Structure formats: structure tokens, C-alpha cells
């Protein structure tokens, strides 16, 4: 049986300055990663036993998982809720999520002390560890995303029959994906519940899983807007402004709920006094709230901002900036670290850490690879609605 795997001839690989920049960042990251595998993690990183979590965890894991939440939001909206008008946003969102989770997996292979043992958790289960649930959910959801995106790849290789076959049985995988994503988006917050004495009271709360899931929804909506806005400009295609405006209208609602949960919990716990008396922690908290909650609520409440391309892009960047700061705060900046000699908890005073250039280079290289992968997929595969094959939806 001979398969035709010819890519559409209208596509040409264009080595633009942006592509060369991305390739350069990837090359630097590859060299640094090889040094890490050859000589150990200490050669390229400033991490230690007293400071095991730093830039990689905050940027690659906590941020990477959050910005990938648009995939399950769009899949659930289109397939489960059957709101078909959002279908033009489905494939790019699933692609973004799929690439995002691949980036997280690659980053973990550099961050883990024993990367070759990453699969051990599948045979040596620790039933009391939240990391077990996170690991299983991430691996399973990555598989689900691959299945959800498979019809797009098959259509790109002119295998419409196989694409339609997978699409015909996609619903169970979509439901599983929504459940898995809901579980591990919230369980990233559950992971921090074990350190009530280490995480600053402005961030530690027993409802951290709910806070993480709620904020992930706003991040996912903003990421869909950002991805659509940037891809429309780079690929010179039309922008689905009418659809993105509806997503932008939902963002203030989600953020109001998030803000109410945040301040209500602080009031119930009796921690409101920390809002203005915690020095740098108070500044970080209010920066996160003003940038990631208050400003987007006001911005997207204005109709003109929701219905203009520049307004949508600006608002999405603001939301992502504030919520990414939240992920950095809760996983890095606001975490106490023990003094290596006396094991005295201090807020980043006796234990010093600052990300090294190789650490940053690895993350930037992985991020560059994700951007390049999205660009190649969008260029060579029918990712956007106007490129869909009509056979793919026959019989829906």
C-alpha cells in the first residue's frame, strides 16, 4: 500500500530573520543542555538543595502548563457544548496546547536530577504524592492532544479518510482531555499545599487548587486571543475579531470571580494585614493584582477594546503578564528557603539564587522551538479554518 505524503506545493520554507533568531536560540539551548547531561546540572545552574526550584520550574512548568489551557477550553466549547461558531479557533488552540505540553516535557528532562528516570513514576507509584497525579495527567493529556491534532496532520498529508475516522471517534478523547486538564491545572496548586510554612500567607491558601484552575481559564482565553492576533499578522490572514471579542467579554467575569476568591480567602484567614506590611511581598502581590486582574477587567469592559485588533492583543498581553507573575510569585518569589547551615527559614536572605545565563538560555531555546514548531505547522498543515478540508467534517 503506497501512501501519498506530498505536502502542498504552495508552501515554501522561508528563512526570515525571525527564523534565524529562533534557530540560534535553539542551537544555544542544545549546546547548554548537552553540557548539563555531560557534566551535571550544577555546571549550568545556580540551583541547590536549599533552592531546588527556580526559573525553570516557574517559567517552563508553571507558566508552560498555564498558557496551554486554551486547548481544553476550545475543545470543550466546540465538541461538548457544541458551540460551533468557535470552531475556527479550535485547531490553533489545540496546536498551541500540544506544543506547550511538549515544551514542558522537554524542559523537565533538563531540570530533573536524573532525567533518564523520568519514567520511573509509572512503575514506582507514590500514592500520597500530588506529583504522581500531575505526571500521569500530563502524560495522558499530551497523548490526548496528539490524538485531537492528528486529523489536522493527516489532512495535511492528504489522508482525509484516516482523518475523518479519528474525527468520528474524537468525543471520548475530548471529554477525557477536559477532565485531565481540569485535574492537573488545579493540582499544580495542590502541589503547593504541603508548604504552608514556606509559602507567604498572601499566596498560601487551602483553596489554591481552585485559584489555579480559575486563573488558568483566564490565561487560556488570553492565550487564544494572543495566538490568533499574532498568527493573523505574521501569516497575513483574517482575524476572527467577532469570536475573540466574545472571549474577551468572558475574561472580566472570570477575573472578578478570581479576585473575589482571593480577597475573601485572605479576609477569612485573617491575612489582610499582610497586604501593606510585607515589604517586597506586598509589592509583588499588588503588582500581580493590578496587572493581572484590575487592569484587564477595566480594559475588556470597554467595547472598543474588545472589538479592535490592537485592543484585543494589548488586553491579552496584560492578562498574561499579570497571571504569569502570579505563577512566578507562588512558585518562586514568595517561597521561603532554609538557611543551608542552620535551616532557618528566611525570605531569600541567607540562601541566594539568581538564574544563570545558561538556565535562561535553555528556557528561551525551548520557547523558540515552540514558536518555530507552531509556525511550521501553521504553514504546512491546515491549521486555520479557511484551510480545512471539507471531507474532514463530512458526516458530522
Query: How confident is the model over 169-223, as pLDDT tens digits?
Result: 999 999 999 999 998 899 999 999 988 988 999 999 999 999 999 999 999 999 9
Instruction: Give Cα 236 to chain centroid, integer Å.
Output: 25
Cα(94)–Cα(300) distance, rounded to whole angstroms? 24
Q: What nine digits make up the cell of 256?
A: 472578578
Q: Any alpha helices (H) in the chain, and if so which ranges? A: 17-39, 55, 64-67, 70-75, 90-111, 130-156, 160-168, 171-190, 208-234, 241-269, 280-289, 295-300, 303-306, 309-328, 357-380
- Please give the pLDDT value at position 287: 97
Cα(212)–Cα(130) distance, rounded to whole angstroms? 15
Residue 382 has pLDDT above 50, yes or no: yes
Cα(258)–Cα(322) distance, rounded to whole angstroms? 13
Residue 126 has pLDDT above 90, yes or no: no
Confirm if 95 and 375 have CB atoms less than 8 A apart. Answer: no
Band of the pLDDT at 338, cuts 50, 70, 90? low
Q: What nine digits make up the cell of 61?
A: 512548568
SS3 342: coil
Q: Any alpha helices (H) in 83-170, and if so which ranges? A: 90-111, 130-156, 160-168
Cα(173)–Cα(179) distance, rounded to whole angstroms? 10
Residue 10 has pLDDT above 70, yes or no: no
Cα(233)–Cα(231) distance, rounded to whole angstroms? 5
**Residue with more model confidence, 2 or 290:** 290
Residue 341 has pLDDT above 80, yes or no: no
Confirm if 388 and 88 have CB atoms less than 8 A apart. Answer: no
Confirm if 100 and 67 have CB atoms less than 8 A apart. Answer: yes
- Please give the pLDDT value at position 395: 38
Cα(212)–Cα(163) distance, rounded to whole angstroms? 35
Q: What's the start-to-end Cα distance of the chain, in Å?
A: 28
- pTM (2 decimals)? 0.88
Amino acid at each position: 500500500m503506497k501512501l501519498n505524503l506530498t505536502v502542498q506545493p504552495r508552501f515554501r520554507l522561508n528563512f526570515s530573520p525571525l527564523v534565524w533568531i529562533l534557530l540560534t536560540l535553539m542551537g544555544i539551548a542544545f549546546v547548554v543542555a548537552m553540557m548539563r547531561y555531560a557534566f551535571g546540572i550544577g555546571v549550568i545552574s545556580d540551583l541547590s538543595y536549599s533552592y531546588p526550584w527556580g526559573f525553570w520550574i516557574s517559567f517552563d512548568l508553571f507558566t508552560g502548563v498555564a498558557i496551554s489551557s486554551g486547548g481544553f477550553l476550545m475543545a470543550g466549547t466546540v465538541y461538548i457544548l457544541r458551540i460551533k461558531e468557535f470552531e475556527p479557533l479550535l485547531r490553533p488552540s489545540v496546536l498551541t496546547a500540544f506544543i506547550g505540553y511538549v515544551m514542558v516535557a522537554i524542559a523537565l528532562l533538563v531540570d530533573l536530577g536524573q532525567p533518564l528516570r523520568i519514567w520511573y513514576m509509572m512503575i514506582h507509584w507514590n500514592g500520597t504524592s500530588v506529583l504522581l497525579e500531575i505526571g500521569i495527567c500530563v502524560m495522558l493529556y499530551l497523548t490526548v492532544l496528539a490524538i485531537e491534532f492528528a486529523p489536522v496532520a493527516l489532512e495535511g498529508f492528504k489522508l482525509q479518510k484516516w482523518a475523518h475516522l479519528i474525527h468520528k471517534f474524537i468525543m471520548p478523547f475530548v471529554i477525557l482531555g477536559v477532565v485531565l486538564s481540569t485535574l492537573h491545572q488545579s493540582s499544580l496548586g495542590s502541589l503547593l499545599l504541603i508548604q504552608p510554612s514556606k509559602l507567604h500567607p498572601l499566596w498560601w491558601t487551602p483553596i489554591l487548587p481552585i485559584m489555579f484552575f480559575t486563573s488558568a481559564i483566564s490565561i487560556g482565553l488570553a492565550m487564544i486571543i494572543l495566538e490568533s492576533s499574532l498568527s493573523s499578522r505574521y501569516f497575513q490572514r483574517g482575524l476572527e475579531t467577532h469570536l475573540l471579542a466574545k472571549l474577551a467579554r468572558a475574561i472580566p467575569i472570570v477575573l472578578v470571580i478570581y479576585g473575589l476568591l482571593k480577597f475573601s480567602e485572605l479576609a477569612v484567614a485573617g491575612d489582610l494585614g499582610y497586604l501593606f506590611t510585607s515589604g517586597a511581598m506586598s509589592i509583588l502581590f499588588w503588582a500581580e493584582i493590578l496587572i493581572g486582574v484590575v487592569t484587564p477587567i477595566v480594559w475588556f469592559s470597554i467595547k472598543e477594546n474588545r472589538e479592535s485588533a490592537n485592543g484585543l492583543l494589548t488586553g491579552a498581553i496584560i492578562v498574561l503578564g499579570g497571571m504569569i507573575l502570579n505563577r512566578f510569585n507562588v512558585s518562586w518569589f514568595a517561597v521561603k528557603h532554609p538557611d543551608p547551615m542552620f535551616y532557618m527559614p528566611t525570605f531569600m536572605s541567607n540562601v541566594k539564587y539568581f538564574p544563570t545565563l545558561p538556565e535562561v538560555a535553555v528556557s528561551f531555546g525551548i520557547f523558540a522551538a515552540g514558536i518555530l514548531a507552531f509556525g511550521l505547522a501553521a504553514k504546512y498543515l491546515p491549521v486555520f479554518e479557511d484551510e480545512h478540508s471539507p471531507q474532514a467534517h463530512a458526516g458530522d
